[in-house]
């Protein structure tokens, strides 16, 4: 444990590692000079799985935190939503064609149809449905935003928390746990790994004269639904073709949104927390007269990074290709290959 003492209620960095072992005992009949019955710990006890791969640059987390939690970040961008409604006739036509081919398949270009359907859902129907679901209860969103703006105009400020990243996966492997006196034992295991990253930041209005002001309903309405004039450049950027792909590498819209939030409000006491865990379970096995029991190692890592005077910074990165990104890129590749073959 690496922590700070003497700064109670301060914004302090911290790192912690907790490792727990159990089982994985080597057992051999009594009288054997190599092992002492009834069981001795294997080399598994000397293994401490390291933390997951290094997190992305902290600046990328800071930018996202300032963009997602800012008082002026809309929950639904109504102008962008209205602009994208023009695609509905084309989306309906594509859906009808796809359903017709499912009912009466032609047997041709199935890969292209699947790729086209994936893109239509991810960039057409899915965001449209999500926005409509949010708009169903927009009055509650506006009321909540009004309360948040009041908090940002208070002496204490508005404290926001948001999850930035989460992932988990399972892997299998084996490792050497004993190699003494000519005896070599390798035990297989299953490893359940995962990580979660979240951030906390406090927002307060920059102009001291605005402390104690109660924002109006229209202030909250425009902030929650993207009606502020300062939101126009961000809306235009998101409406441009292929801007979503550029954002994967450069996060332009994130930078623009974070900067816009910081025009009128000042962030402070920013913290990025990251927790990763590795739960490795060893399988019991028998090799000749030697028996190895099942075992388990659980390693948990926790880190807290602090920034009391946060600011946004450009950050070029190679994006992590999660399931969503892989499906999009795969669909684009399939459609690209189809077009080249036609030529």
> Of the candidates 322, 315, 25, 70, which has an alpha carbon nearest to the alpha carbon of residue 205?
70
Predicted confidence (pLDDT) per residue in 314-332, tens digit: 665 655 555 555 555 555 5
The CA distance from 229 to 89, in Å, is: 29
Give me the pLDDT at residue 106, please: 44
Spans of the chain, pLDDT less than 50: 37, 103-108, 334, 337-343
User: 273 pairs with which residues across the strands?
Assistant: 198, 304
- Sign of the CA dihedral 68, 231, 319, 14? negative
pLDDT at 103: 47
pLDDT at 283: 93
Q: Give the separation between CA 319 and CA 250, rounded to whole angstroms.
A: 9
pLDDT digits (tens, 9 = 90+) for 166-224: 888 898 998 888 887 777 889 999 999 988 999 999 999 999 899 988 999 999 989 98
Instruction: Give the pLDDT confidence score for residue 151 in this predicted structure.
Output: 94
pLDDT value, residue 322: 55
pLDDT of residue 307: 86
Whole-number Cα distances in Å, 215 to 138, 148, 222, 230? 17, 10, 11, 17
């Amino acid at each position: 444990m690496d922590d700070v003492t003497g700064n109670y209620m301060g914004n302090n960095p911290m790192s912690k590692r907790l490792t727990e072992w159990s089982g994985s005992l080597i057992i051999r009949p009594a009288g054997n000079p190599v092992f002492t019955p009834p069981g001795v710990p294997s080399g598994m006890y000397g293994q401490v799985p390291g933390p997951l791969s290094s997190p992305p640059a902290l600046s990328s987390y800071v930018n996202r935190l300032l963009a997602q939690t800012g008082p002026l970040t809309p929950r639904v961008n109504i102008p962008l939503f209205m602009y994208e409604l023009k695609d509905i006739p084309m989306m309906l036509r594509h859906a009808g064609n796809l359903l017709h081919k499912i009912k009466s398949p032609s047997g041709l270009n199935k890969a292209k149809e699947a790729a086209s359907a994936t893109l239509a859902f991810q960039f057409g129907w899915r965001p449209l449905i999500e926005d409509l679901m949010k708009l169903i209860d927009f009055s509650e969103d506006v009321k909540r935003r009004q309360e948040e703006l009041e908090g940002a105009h208070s002496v204490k400020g508005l404290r926001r928390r948001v999850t930035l990243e989460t992932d988990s996966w399972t892997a299998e492997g084996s490792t050497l746990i004993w190699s003494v006196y000519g005896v070599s034992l390798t035990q297989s295991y299953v490893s359940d790994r995962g990580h979660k990253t979240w951030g906390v930041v406090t927002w307060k209005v920059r102009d001291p004269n605005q402390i104690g002001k109660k924002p109006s309903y229209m202030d909250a309405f425009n902030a929650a639904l993207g009606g502020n004039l300062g939101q126009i450049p961000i809306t235009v950027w998101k409406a441009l073709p292929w801007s979503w792909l550029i954002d994967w590498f450069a996060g332009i819209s994130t930078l623009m949104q974070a900067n816009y939030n910081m025009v009128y409000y000042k962030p402070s006491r920013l913290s990025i927390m990251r927790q990763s865990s590795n739960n490795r379970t060893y399988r019991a096995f028998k090799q000749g007269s030697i028996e190895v029991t099942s075992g388990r190692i659980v390693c948990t890592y926790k880190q807290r990074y602090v920034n009391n005077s946060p600011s946004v910074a450009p950050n070029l990165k190679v994006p992590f290709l999660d399931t969503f990104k892989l499906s999009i890129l795969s669909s684009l590749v399939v459609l690209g290959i189809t077009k080249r073959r036609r030529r």
